[in-house]
């Protein structure tokens, strides 16, 4: 009891002289302090309940959850206990407030609240910051316009942080595509030209158990070409589709270090893909390796590529795009993409074979 009385005295000093307490005798201030104490406890238990409910709220919104059935059951049991404790504190708060209003009927600044209304409040609701108990002269505690401005400023700050994170994700995705392009295309040129270092670099893939079941060396190489071309189809389609937005998004969300180098690499690769399409190559038919790049880039000077890109900007010779930014030809070949991926397998008898192809795909990627 002494500890509680000491705490009440400390709170009385913190509350100090309040306009609300004008005409209230020191003997009656304890009624007001009981309300203050109950409301403080009510807020703590309210915030604790909201925090513990977050995993369930995430499940309702469709966000992935790792709770599991047992975890959900334990959480629900815990929430029921917290709800009961919150209701008990709420009843105490309303009871003390009613006693205060009976003693001082003209002082109706503090209001009662029911459980359903309480659970509909936000953590920063004016109910918690009405300026009655503390900071009654501070604008952020009592002025609604100031409180709205603070909330809007917090939203602006969160929005700016989200834009910063999105800009980083844009650069990661673009850099990944550029890096994959630099890995895949030289290997395709090497296979097209039968360069020795290409065959030696693929030796680990040729030793894969699946390819070892193919006795003919040419058939083994054709299988590798098909897998490699499927990767190239996915990557080039993605780059051509992204190209309508990538450069503008990077320029509008920066600047960051190495942006110019990243944009230059991207533009060069898009230039190469555009020239391949205009020359009748860049086949989007799965496994059509021979018509993917052909000899279109042999002895082509960079100046020629840049001149072709300038023509593309004028709309003279470049392939057209659909409204969603995808090239027209891609729409006609969607059914041919990813033929070796497990998602394209439509019956159970082929599923095991698809898994083996996926393993071979992984081995090929590691060898690139």
pLDDT (average), residues 20-24: 57
What is the band of 110 on the pLDDT scale with cuts at 50, 70, 90?
confident
Q: Is 321 helix (H, G, I), strand (E, B) or coil?
A: strand
Of 1-5, 117-121, 332-336, the one with minimum mean pLDDT is 332-336
How many other C-beta atoms can be found within 10 angstroms of the C-beta atom of residue 309? Answer: 17
Please state, rounded to an integer, the average pLDDT across all residues of the chain.
70
Is the backbone peptide bond immediately before 183 cis, with ω within 30 degrees of 0?
A: no
Q: Who has greater pLDDT, 136 or 218?
A: 218
- What share of the chain in percent tops pLDDT 70? 56
Average pLDDT over residues 181-193: 77
**Rounded-to-integer distance, Cα 312 and Cα 305, Å:** 10
As a whole number of angstroms, the distance between CA 63 and CA 71 comes to: 16
Q: What's the confidence (pLDDT) of residue 321? A: 36
What pLDDT band is residue 23 in, cutting at 50, 70 and 90?
A: low
Q: What is the mean pLDDT of residues 185-195?
A: 71
More confident site: 240 or 191:
240
For the cut 60, the answer to whether the pLDDT of residue 285 exceeds it is yes
Distance from C-alpha of 86 to C-alpha of 117, rounded to nearest angstrom: 13
pLDDT score of 53 more than 70: yes
The per-residue pLDDT for 52 is: 83
Q: How far apart are CA 276 and CA 69, in angstroms?
A: 54
Higher pLDDT, 212 or 116: 116
Torsion, Cα 145 149 155 158, to 10 degrees, reads: -150
For 327, phi then psi, to 5°, come to -65, 150
Cα angle vertex 283, ends 280, 289, to 5°?
Answer: 115
Indicate the length of the chain as a whole number.
368
pLDDT value at position 176? 92
**For 38-42, 284-288, 297-301, 341-345, which range has the lowest pLDDT when averaged over its residues?**
341-345
Q: Residue 171 is inside which H or E element, if any?
A: helix 144-193
What does the pLDDT average to over 144-156? 84
Q: Which residues contact 274 (CB under 8 A, 6 or more apart)?
A: 240, 308, 309, 312, 318, 319
Distance CA(292)–CA(67), nearest Å, equals 48
Does 50 score more than 70 pLDDT? yes
What is the pLDDT averaged over residues 313-324? 39
């Amino acid at each position: 009891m002494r500890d509680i009385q000491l705490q009440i005295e400390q709170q009385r000093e913190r509350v100090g002289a309040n306009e609300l307490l004008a005409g209230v005798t020191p003997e009656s201030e304890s009624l007001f302090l009981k309300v203050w104490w109950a409301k403080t406890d009510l807020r703590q238990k309210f915030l604790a309940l909201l925090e513990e409910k977050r995993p369930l709220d995430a499940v309702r919104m469709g966000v992935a959850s790792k709770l599991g059935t047992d975890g959900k059951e334990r959480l629900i049991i815990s929430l029921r206990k917290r709800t009961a404790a919150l209701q008990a504190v709420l009843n105490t708060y309303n009871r003390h407030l009613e006693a205060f209003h009976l003693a001082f009927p003209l002082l109706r600044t503090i209001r009662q609240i029911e459980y359903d209304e309480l659970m509909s409040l936000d953590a920063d609701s004016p109910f918690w910051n009405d300026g009655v108990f503390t900071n009654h002269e501070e604008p952020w505690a009592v002025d609604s316009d100031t409180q709205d401005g603070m909330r809007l400023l917090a939203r602006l700050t969160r929005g700016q942080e989200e834009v910063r994170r999105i800009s980083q994700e844009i650069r990661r995705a673009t850099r990944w595509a550029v890096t994959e392009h630099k890995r895949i295309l030289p290997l395709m040129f090497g296979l097209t030209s039968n360069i020795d270092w290409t065959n030696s670099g693929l030796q680990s893939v040729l030793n894969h158990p699946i390819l070892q079941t193919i006795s003919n060396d040419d058939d083994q190489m054709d299988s590798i070409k098909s897998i490699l071309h499927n990767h190239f189809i996915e990557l080039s389609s993605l780059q051509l589709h992204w190209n309508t937005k990538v450069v503008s998004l990077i320029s509008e969300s920066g600047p960051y270090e190495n942006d110019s180098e990243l944009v230059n690499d991207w533009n060069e690769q898009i230039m190469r893909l555009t020239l391949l399409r205009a020359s009748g190559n860049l086949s989007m038919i799965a496994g059509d390796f021979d018509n993917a790049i052909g000899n279109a880039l042999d002895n082509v000077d960079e100046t020629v590529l840049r001149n072709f890109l300038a023509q593309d900007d004028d709309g003279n010779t470049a392939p057209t795009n659909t409204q969603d930014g995808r090239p027209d030809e891609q729409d006609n070949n969607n059914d041919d993409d990813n033929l070796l991926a497990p998602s394209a397998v439509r019956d159970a008898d082929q599923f095991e074979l698809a898994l083996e192809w996926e393993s071979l795909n992984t081995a090929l990627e590691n060898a690139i």
